[in-house]
Every structure is written in structure tokens, then in C-alpha cells.
Chains A and B, each alone.
Chain A
Amino acid sequence: MEKSIAGPLAGKNLKKITSIRTSWKSWTERNPQTTVLSTDTGYERNYSRDPYEGYYRSLGIWFPVGDVRKDLSPKEMVLGIEMGREARAYPLSKLKEEPGLLRDKLGEETIQIEVAPDGGILRVTDNHGEEIPSIFAYWFAWQAFHPETTVYREED
């Protein structure tokens, strides 16, 4: 997913670092000293308009990604996590159902996902409490990059 596929750096990887996707409110509560990217970007864009409106809810995928596995709906949002050789998709709708601390065995580790009362993801950590990388993605995109991915279900 983070590999250059052409050009001078073809085949080279970026190193993934930890990041969180959450609401502005939740982020500022936990990081009151934060700064935020300004709309003064050097480009004229209408940031109050969403260019993807309509795409979120439609089932359509614009670019071909081959056959999409039917485990989930193509546009279901998942939190994707890799540990060792294992990749797992956590449907956000499932995580929202049970806010708090979710523990799951992935690879050789027990990982923890901290879910806020509003369903936002606060932290993803490994055995040692260290934060680990995770990514928000549509199911169709995650499974294209991780064909062997498993999908989290409560009974697992």
C-alpha cells in the first residue's frame, strides 16, 4: 500500500507511522496543544464543499480493482491493521456498537483498539502499549491491497 510502483523510486517503501482519524472535538480534547492545517493552502478551493458527496453512499467503485470479496459491502468503512503477516479489517459499524477497549489476537500479538463513546477510534496499541499504525479504508480498497485479510467478527 505504501510502495512506489513506478519511476525512480519504484519498489521502495515508505515507513508507516501511527495516526488517528477522529472527530475534531475528540482530537482537541485529547491534544489541546494541537495545531491544525490552515485553509490557506496556496490554492483556491471551496473547502466547505465536499467533492466526494454522493460517492460515500453509492455502491459504485470508479476504478477497477478486480473481484471484490463479498465478506462486506464494497463501501463499508473498515479500520485496517497489519501485524506480522496478518491483516485484519475491523468494520467501523461493529466497533461503534461497543465503545471502550476491544482486545483481539492478531499475528502473534494481542492488540487493543480504544473506541470513543461516539464511535471514533482513539488509539490502537500492541502488547506493550505502544501505538501501532492503522488505516481507515473502504472494504474494497483494503481487500485489494490485502487479499488474505480476515474480517473481525465478535465471535472470533
Chain B
Amino acid sequence: MKQLENWGGNKTRTLLTWGPLFGALLVFTAFNLDKAIVPRDEILSGGPPKDGIPAIREPKFISPHGANFLSSDDQVIGLQIGGEAKAYPIKILNWHEVVNDTIKGIPVVVTF
């Protein structure tokens, strides 16, 4: 749902120029579309190949004092589970889209 123009430089742009056909090829070769519950021709490539925008699967966390890369106005997604509070900065999520994390033993996916 977002524009991916700044990601992969020329490579991405080439894919975009090739349009839906190439995009569809990419999707069908890289992703498992078995048992699709929506029309397959409505599933489009976002441009970058699979894992071109890699999910963060082993997130590391620091205390606010160490977070010099954040300024007061920067947006974060905040989660509270069982008394534990965690913040996921949008400026990191923009490059990964998905964080797979575990909080108090509960698996969570953070995306936006």
C-alpha cells in the first residue's frame, strides 16, 4: 500500500517499468500463493523481491538514554503487555515493515 520508489534504486525502477507482468512473475516464484482466498490476479508485487524489505526477526532493545537516533517528535508504536512497555520507531519500521517479537512469552507482530 505504499510507494517503494526509493528502495532498490535502478533495479526496483526497472521492475516497475516492466509493470504487472514481471511483478506477477516475481510474486508467483517467490511467494506461496496456495489456497489464495482472494483472486490471484489481485495479488501484486510491491516492487522489491521477497525479503527485499526484510522483517526484523531478532529485535534488540535499548534504554531510552541510548536512543540518540530519536528526537522528541519522532513517531513510535508503543506496546504494553503485562507491565512491559516497548517502543518501535516508525523510522526503523519504514525500512522493514514487520517486527516479529516476543513479549512476556507472547509472540507479537508489529507492523503498520
Using a CB–CB distance below 8 Å, which chain A residues touch chain B? 3, 5-8, 10-11, 14, 17-25, 27-28, 31-43, 45, 47-55, 58, 60-65, 135-136, 138, 141
Contacts and interface: CB of A to CB of B under 8 A. Distances in A.
B2 A10 contact: no
Interface in B27-75: 31-38, 43-44, 46, 54, 56, 58-64, 66-67, 69-75
Interface string B66-91: 11011111111111110001111111
| CB-CB nearest 4 A-B residue pairs | A25-B72, A31-B85, A10-B35, A35-B61
Contacts, number: 171
B22 to A, nearest CB: 15
A17 B82 CA distance: 12
Secondary structure class of chain A's binding surface, majority of residues: loop
A6 B37 contact: yes
A43 B86 CA distance: 21
B72 A10 contact: no
Nearest to B109: A14
